[in-house]
Amino acid sequence: MRVVSFLMIGGASLVYADWATETWDAIVVGAGPAGIIVADRLSENGKKTLLIEGGGGSYWITGGRQQPDWLKGTELSRVDVPGLYKSIFADQGTLTCQNSTNAFGGCTVGGSSAINAGIFLQPPAADFDDYFIDGWKYTDVNASIQKVYARISSSDVYSADKQFYIQSGYEAAKKWLVDGLGYKNVGLNAQANDKTKVFGRPVFNYNNGQRGGPATTYLQDSTKRNNFHLQTETRVKRVARTNSTATGVIAIVNGTEIMVKLSPGGRVILSGGALQSPQILMFSGIGDPDIYKDNLTNAGVLNGVPDWITNKAVGDGLFDNPNTFIELEGSSIESYTYNYTNPIPSDARLYIDSRSGPYSFASETSAFWDYIIRPDGSKAGCQGTIDSAGFGEYTSNKTITLNIYGTSGLKSRGKVILNEDFLPGPSPETYYSDPQDGEDIAQYIFNIFQGLDSSGLTPLNIAANSTKDEIKTYITSSTPYTRGQVNHWSSSCRIGSCVDVNTQVIGTDNIHVVDASILEPLTVNPQFGTMIAAERAAELILALK
Contacts of 507 (CB under 8 A, 6+ apart): 244, 286, 309, 310, 311
The pLDDT of residue 17 is 57
- In angstroms, rounded to a whole number, what is the distance separating the alpha carbons of residues 325 and 345? 30
82 known member of a binding site:
no
Contacts of 527 (CB under 8 A, 6+ apart): 33, 112, 113, 116, 118, 119, 120, 121, 205
- In angstroms, rounded to a whole number, what is the distance separating the alpha carbons of residues 497 and 506? 8
* DSSP helix/strand/coil, 428: helix
Say if CB 497 and CB 104 are below 8 A apart: no
Predicted structure pTM score: 0.96
Burial of 286 (0-12, 13-18, 19+ CB in 10 A): buried
* DSSP helix/strand/coil, 498: coil
What is the CB neighbour count within 10 angstroms for residue 480? 11
- In angstroms, rounded to a whole number, what is the distance separating the alpha carbons of residues 382 and 71? 38
- In angstroms, rounded to a whole number, what is the distance separating the alpha carbons of residues 403 and 256? 44
Which helix (H) or strand (E) covers residue 263, if one does?
strand 256-270
The pLDDT of residue 8 is 42
DSSP letter at 472? H
The pLDDT of residue 13 is 31
- In angstroms, rounded to a whole number, what is the distance separating the alpha carbons of residues 325 and 206? 26
Say if CB 384 and CB 169 are below 8 A apart: no
- CA 107 distance to own-chain centroid: 12
Cα–Cα nearest to 81, from 92, 96, 93, 70: 70
The pLDDT of residue 454 is 86
Cα–Cα nearest to 183, from 410, 332, 386, 377: 386
DSSP letter at 522? P
The string of DSSP letters for 104-138 reads --B-STTGGGGTS--B--PPPHHHHHHHSPTTSSH
Return phi, psi of residue 424, to 5°.
-85, 145
Cα–Cα nearest to 59, from 177, 174, 219, 197: 219
Residues listed for the chain: 545
Say if CB 318 and CB 251 are below 8 A apart: no
DSSP letter at 369? E
The partner residues of 14 in beta bridges, in order of sequence, read: 7
* DSSP helix/strand/coil, 214: helix
CATH tag, 165-200+322-406+433-475? 3.30.410.10
Contacts of 455 (CB under 8 A, 6+ apart): 172, 175, 176, 180, 330
Contacts of 344 (CB under 8 A, 6+ apart): none
* DSSP helix/strand/coil, 231: strand
The partner residues of 418 in beta bridges, in order of sequence, read: 424
Produce one character per residue of 30-65: b if its CB has 16 or more CB atoms within 10 Å, e if not.
Answer: bbbbbbbbbbbbbbbeebbbbbbbbbbbbbbbbbbe
The pLDDT of residue 230 is 98
- In angstroms, rounded to a whole number, what is the distance separating the alpha carbons of residues 324 and 376? 26
- In angstroms, rounded to a whole number, what is the distance separating the alpha carbons of residues 404 and 325? 7
Question: Residue type at 48?
Answer: K
The pLDDT profile of the chain, 545 residues, written as one tens digit per residue, is 334 333 444 333 344 458 999 999 999 999 999 999 999 999 999 999 999 999 999 999 999 999 999 999 999 999 999 999 999 888 888 999 988 999 999 999 999 999 999 999 999 999 999 999 999 999 999 999 999 999 999 999 999 999 999 999 999 999 999 999 999 999 999 999 999 999 999 999 999 999 999 999 999 999 999 999 999 999 999 999 999 999 999 999 888 999 999 999 999 999 999 999 999 999 999 999 999 899 999 999 999 899 999 999 999 999 999 999 999 999 999 999 999 999 999 999 999 999 999 999 999 999 999 999 999 999 999 999 999 999 999 999 999 999 999 999 999 999 999 999 999 999 999 999 999 999 999 999 999 999 999 899 999 999 999 999 999 999 999 999 998 889 999 999 999 999 999 999 999 999 999 999 999 999 999 999 999 999 999 999 999 97
526 known member of a binding site:
yes
